A = this chain, B = another copy of it.
């Protein structure tokens, strides 16, 4: 029962090499109580934890106590939970609080929560006095494997998601695997959609590993989760490292997202979780790849099996406007540029390419995947 006797998984580290903006993603259990974890991080008089009302009661006071050894004063700013609060109004509220509390250029912000908190805190850190350091402590699987690498920060605008933001890198990321214990199973599955995506687009070996470890992952086995998070971060880091400001290769990270976005927009954002929409979107993108003769025919059934095993949808929902509604949502998505919609497709397991496909060639995929639903 004593915490010290509890056997922990040794922490893993992924180094994100971005020149002077390089940083480490640390993945493990009870990471923050190890003083080594904080080595080299900025101190500063004031530390500010930005979190939400769901995560706060679970972790904020423990983090606050740990940070009290690093900062003379530690504040907590808690926002209501949910995408609806990832707004310029919340951003302004954070600016107001930081200024009211006398935060200076050495103040460190700590993002404690999922993607919404990470994106908002990162944007606040990018802009407060033109940039203060921030540390990410993602508490969901999705944010651990997605937003912890890449430096994308943003808030939403009524006219579109992530329309106002910045590229800004954290000083460090702590992926605490213990925080996944309190995460609802549905959200763990949603995070696994992005994990599976990394295998599909770049690493056939990792995809095999996921097929073999699906049960362990869903059961919350720590060593399996650690490998999944680590490998995901490594892959994302490799992609982002080649294309920090998103001009080319990075687009492959949107595999499944163009179809997925149509699902989210069509059903109304929040009806399906982002990861669920991406799962169905990957089915559609894989189907399209196979129909265009690019991906092997056996890949689609393998993907569907894997998705089902980790509790994710393996087919797309019907939208009121049918195929046309899908095409409409995809055309207005920002990934679409003049003319045919561009899709991320698979040239084989572990190899993604971006390709414009005329609507007429997409319709058979829509029909097949909707019919299967």
Contacts and interface: CB of A to CB of B under 8 A. Distances in A.
A356 interface: no
Nearest to A106: B337
Contact of A126 (B96, B99, B152, B166): B166
A102 to B, nearest CB: 10
B131 A245 contact: yes
A163 B107 CA distance: 13
A92 B88 contact: yes
Interface string A107-146: 0000000000000000000111111000000000000000
A336 to B, nearest CB: 10
A18 to B, nearest CB: 13
15 contacts: A88-B92, A95-B163, A104-B334, A105-B334, A126-B166, A127-B165, A128-B164, A129-B162, A129-B164, A129-B165, A130-B153, A130-B154, A130-B162, A130-B166, A130-B167
Given A129-B162, A129-B163, 9 more contacts: A88-B88, A96-B159, A99-B157, A100-B159, A126-B166, A128-B163, A129-B334, A130-B153, A131-B166
A130 B166 CA distance: 4
A99 B332 CA distance: 13
A130 B165 contact: yes
Contacts of A167: 130-131
Q: Which of A154, A157, A164 has the most CB of B within 10 A?
A: A164
A44 to B, nearest CB: 12
A146 B131 CA distance: 21
Contacts of A159: 96, 99-100
Contacts of A245: 131
Contacts of A96: 157, 159
Nearest to A154: B130
Contacts of A153: 130
A40 interface: no
A128 B334 CA distance: 13
Given A130-B165, A166-B131, A245-B131, A160 B88 contact: no
Contacts of A100: 159
A318 to B, nearest CB: 29
Q: Which of A128, A152, A153, A157 has the most CB of B within 10 A?
A: A157
Given A152-B130, A166-B127, A88 B95 contact: yes
A129 to B, nearest CB: 6
Contacts of A166: 126-127, 130-131, 166
